[in-house]
């Protein structure tokens, strides 16, 4: 898929999320204020404000929520050295490097563009992986930096979370609060309130999963060793199940290389990440193709 078509698809997904948010505004305005135009406009403005905040401040919010500490080369020589090697190989600016005080083995990148990026690794992943595996993981994160996926996934998570909150508030307000209870559109509005969070979640999943596959591929090609990442993913899958993240917000799980809040079972069907077995299979196929 070309960069242009990928960007067009992302813009369409954001358009769908914004439309869902505005639809909730229509329902709120019609039911509570008798003016659907006002509700739609207010929620459209809110969507714009949230996108603005996400663009300029999401990186700081995410780093603060996980208590990430920015480190220099003297404080984290191994991590800093590997990130610098990948940065040099890929031709990307050297990002800020941070460590998250958690034994959950994971890593993520954040920032609105390559010039303002931060690559963060947890204490757990630094202990679990060897240098070759850690290089594969950090190359994956640098691929996210290159493609500006951090901004895309953060904005998608922000809008999806806002839609879920607004829809839930409207539903409970319409059932137990005020509003025009005789309005003939009440059933339609309740349907919107129930289905909007599901639709928003599916759009977010589509954004996140496609970006993860692409970052796996680009990260592997950056270092020329797909099996480095494949081996790391095997360890990370087991490590995250054994030591799930105990802080932060599940709405930001799409930023991590492996979902840190995964509990397995039915919830895995709605994970922000692709199936691990499929990710590993694709990397193994890529490695086989490179050997031929």
Q: Which residues are catalytic?
A: 141
As a whole number of angstroms, the distance between CA 273 and CA 282 comes to: 14
User: Sheet of 107-110: strands edge to edge?
Assistant: 69-71, 96-100, 118-122, 107-110
3-class SS of residue 257: coil
Report d(CA 133, CA 65) in Å as an integer: 26
- CA pair distance 108, 106, nearest whole angstrom: 7
CA distance 257 to 9: 22
Distance CA 25, CA 188 (A): 13
Which residue stretches of 29-183 are H helix?
36-65, 77-90, 123-128, 131-147, 149-176
Dist CA 217 CA 195 (whole Å): 34
Integer Cα distance of 127 and 252 in angstroms: 23
Cβ contacts of 182 within 8 Å, gap of 6 or more: none
Give the distance from CA 13 to its chain's centroid: 14
Provide the residue count of the chain. Answer: 292
């Amino acid at each position: 898929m070309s960069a242009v078509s990928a960007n067009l698809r992302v813009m369409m997904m954001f358009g769908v999320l914004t439309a869902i948010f505005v639809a909730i505004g229509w329902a709120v305005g019609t039911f509570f204020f008798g003016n659907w135009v006002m509700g739609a406009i207010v929620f459209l403005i809110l969507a714009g404000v949230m996108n603005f905040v996400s663009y300029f401040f999401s990186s700081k919010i995410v780093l603060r929520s996980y208590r990430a500490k920015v480190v220099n080369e003297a404080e984290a020589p191994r991590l800093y050295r590997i990130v610098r090697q990948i940065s040099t190989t890929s031709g990307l600016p050297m990002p800020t490097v941070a460590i998250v005080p958690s034994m959950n083995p994971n890593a993520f990148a954040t920032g609105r563009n390559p010039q303002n990026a931060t690559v963060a690794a947890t204490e757990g992943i630094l202990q679990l992986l060897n240098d070759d595996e850690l290089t594969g993981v950090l190359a994956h994160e640098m691929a996210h930096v290159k493609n500006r996926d951090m901004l895309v996934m953060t904005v998608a998570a922000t809008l999806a979370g806002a839609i879920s909150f607004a829809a839930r508030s409207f539903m409970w307000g319409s059932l137990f609060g005020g509003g025009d209870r005789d309005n003939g559109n009440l059933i339609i509005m309740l349907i919107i309130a129930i289905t909007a969070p599901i639709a928003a979640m599916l759009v977010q999943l589509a954004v996140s999963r496609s970006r993860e596959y692409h970052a796996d591929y680009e990260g592997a090609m950056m270092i020329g060793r797909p099996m480095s990442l494949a081996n790391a993913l095997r360890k990370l899958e087991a490590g995250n199940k054994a030591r799930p993240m105990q802080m932060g917000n599940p709405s930001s799980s799409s930023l991590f290389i492996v979902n840190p809040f995964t509990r397995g079972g039915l919830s895995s069907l709605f994970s922000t990440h692709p199936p691990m077995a499929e990710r590993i299979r694709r990397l193994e196929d890529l490695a086989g193709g490179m050997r031929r």
